[in-house]
Structure 1
Amino acid sequence: MRSRPVPTPSSGHEPRPALEAVGLRKRYRGGLALDGFDLRVEPGTVHGLLGPNGAGKTTAVRCLTTLTDLDEGTARIDGLDVRRDPAGVRERIGLVGQFHAVDDALTARQNLMLFARLSGLSRGRARTRTDALLEAFGLADAADRPVSGFSGGMRRRLDISASLVLTPAILFLDEPTTGLDPRGRATVWQAVREVAATGTTVLLTTQLLDEADQLADRVSVMDHGRVIAEGTPTELKRRLGGDRVIAGFAAADLERAAATVAGAVGSEASVDPDARTVTVEVSDGAAALAPIVRALDAADLPVDDLALRRPTLDEVFLHLTAETPAHRAAEDQEAR
C-alpha cells in the first residue's frame, strides 16, 4: 500500500526499537490508568494503539512523551530512558495531541516560524524549514492566511507539520482526526503517510478502526491499562476466524437455504431472520462462492444478494475489549 525506508539489521543484530515500554504503571485516585503496559514499536513503522475510552491510551502517550511521571516500569525512546533522560527524549520526539497547538490569530507561516525559532533554528534555517513544510503538507497557497479561517483538516495538517520542525525520530499522534469530517480525515491520513514515507516512526492512538486499518503496519489493542492483543491488522482479523459468505433470501426460503449452503461448504450456517440472510464461515475465500451458487441453483433457491466479507477491525475491537469503569475513572481523573 505504501513504501518507505525501514532500517534493517546489520551484522546479524536486530535493530534497536524506536520505542520500548515494559511494565508501565500509573495510578490516579480513580485507580490504575496503566497496569503493566508493554509496547514495542519498530523503527520506520506506523504503529496503531487502539482502545475504548478510559483504556489508558492518552496516559500512555503522556508518560512516554515525559508529560506525566511514571510510577513503575521502564520506557526507552530511540534508546534513551524516559525517566532518566527526559530532556534527551523530548529532543527526539514530536507530539500532536487531541487539541490544536497552533495559534488561530497567526498565519500558517507565522505559526511554523514561531515553532522553528522556539526549537532553536536560526532565522534563515527557520524560514527554509517553514517553506518546506508548507509545501510538503499542501499549505503553501494558504500560508499567509490566519489559521482562524482554516478547515479542521487544514489545522490538523498544520499541527502535524509544526511537530516535524526538527524531524523527530518518533512522532506521537494522539487521536489526530477526532472531530473531523471524512474529507478532513482523508487529508490527515495522507499527511501521516507522507510523514511515514520519510522514515519517521509514528505511534498513532485512535478509536477509529478504519484509521488503523488504513495507516498502521502493526496494531496493539489496549484495555484495562495494558495491551491485550497485538499484530498486523490482517493477523488480528484472523482471530475471528475465516471469511464469511452472506446470502440474502426470501423469508420463506431461509431454513432450506441454510441447509443448502452448509452442505455446499461443509460448515454450519447461521440464519438471521430479521436481515433475511444466511451466513457461513469459509476457509478458501472467493473459491467458496462457486459451489454455493451451484448448490443454490440446483435447489432452485433464488438469491437476493450474495457477498464475501472478511472480519473487520471493528469486530476484533468489540470482541477483545470491554467496558471497565475503574480505568475509565482513572483516565477521567487525569484529565482534571
Structure 2
Amino acid sequence: MWALGSPNEDVGQVLLLHFDGRRWREHPAPEVTWDAGDHERFPALVATGPRDAWVFAATTALAAHHWDGERWSPVRLPDMDYDPGERAGATALAPDDVWLVVGDHAAHWDGRAWTVMRLPAWAASVSAAAPDQVWAVGGTGRPLAEGSAGSQAATMRWDGRSWQLVPAPEDRTPSDEINSSGRPDGSIPRITLTQVVAHAPGNVWAIGTREVFDYEDGSRGTTITMHWDGRAWSWMPGSPTVSAAGADGADGIILVDWDADEGGLGAAIRVAPDGSRTQLPPMAGANRGREIDVSAVTAVPGTRTVYAVGLVYGRDFGPMIARYR
C-alpha cells in the first residue's frame, strides 16, 4: 500500500509512505513539488499491484510518474488541453487499464500508449467498476478560481465505446439572501461533484459540494451525496460537513465529518445503498481523543479493511494512518 502526503506548510516535496505488509516506511517520492495551501488539487495516486502504481500531479503542468517495482519514473503524457486550476483524477483496474481525467478530457493507458478522449462535461474524479463501467464526475460549468456560477452536477459513463453524459439531479432553487442592492439575490446553487466511488454497474456513489450565496461570506458550502442504482441518480442522506469520503469495503461509503477531529474519528459514518447510516466506533489506540485532520479514506480492494490518513496534532505532531477492520 502507498500513502501520499503534502508539506503541512509552505511549498515542498511530497511525502510518500509504503506499507510492505508489516510496517510503514518513508519511501523516496517522485519529483513532485507541492503547495500546502492547494489541497483541492492534490496529486492522484492509484496502484494495481507491487509493480504498478501511478502518481498524477496537476500544478503548472500536468505530470505523471510510474512505479515499476524498483523506481519511480516520469511518463510523458499526451496533450490534454490542461488549464492550471483544474484537478486531476485517476483510477486503475490493471496495469493496462488506467484512466486519467482532467478538465473536459480523459486519457486511457492500455499498457503501451495513451489515448485522449473529449468528455461531455468537466470532471474532477473517476472510478471504475469494470472495463466498460467507468464513471467520471464533476460539473457542467468550467472550473474557475472562484468556482463556476450556476454549475450543476455532471456524471459521465464510459461503456467501452464512448463517454456519455448521464442525467443527474439538479438544484435550481433561487437564493432569497438579500444582496448589496437590498434585493433577493436570486442566484441558484453551484453544485460540483468532487469524488466518485464505483462498486458495480448498479452501485455508484458521488460526493460533492453545494454552494449558495451568502451576503457576509460570499458563499456557503455543504456536502452532498448521490447514489446510482443502475437506473437513475438520487440524493442520499449523508453529512453536510465532510472532510473525507471513500469506499467502505462493502457496497457503501464512509463519510468522515469535520467534527471527527476530536474523539478519534468518532464522527465517521457508513452509508449503505438503501440510505441507512451507521456510526463507526471511535478509533482505539494512542491517537484517540486527540485532534486529527482526516484527508482521505479508502478500502483495501477485495476486503473490508479501510484506511484513513491525515494529520494528528499535539506532542507527536505528524502524519496519521488509522485502520478499520
TM-score normalised by length of structure 2: 0.31
More relative contact order, 1 or 2 (CA 8 Å, 6+ apart): 1
TM-score normalised by length of structure 1: 0.30
Q: Which protein is richer in strand relative to its size? A: 2
Q: In terms of Rg, which structure is larger?
A: 1
Q: Which protein is richer in helix relative to its size? A: 1
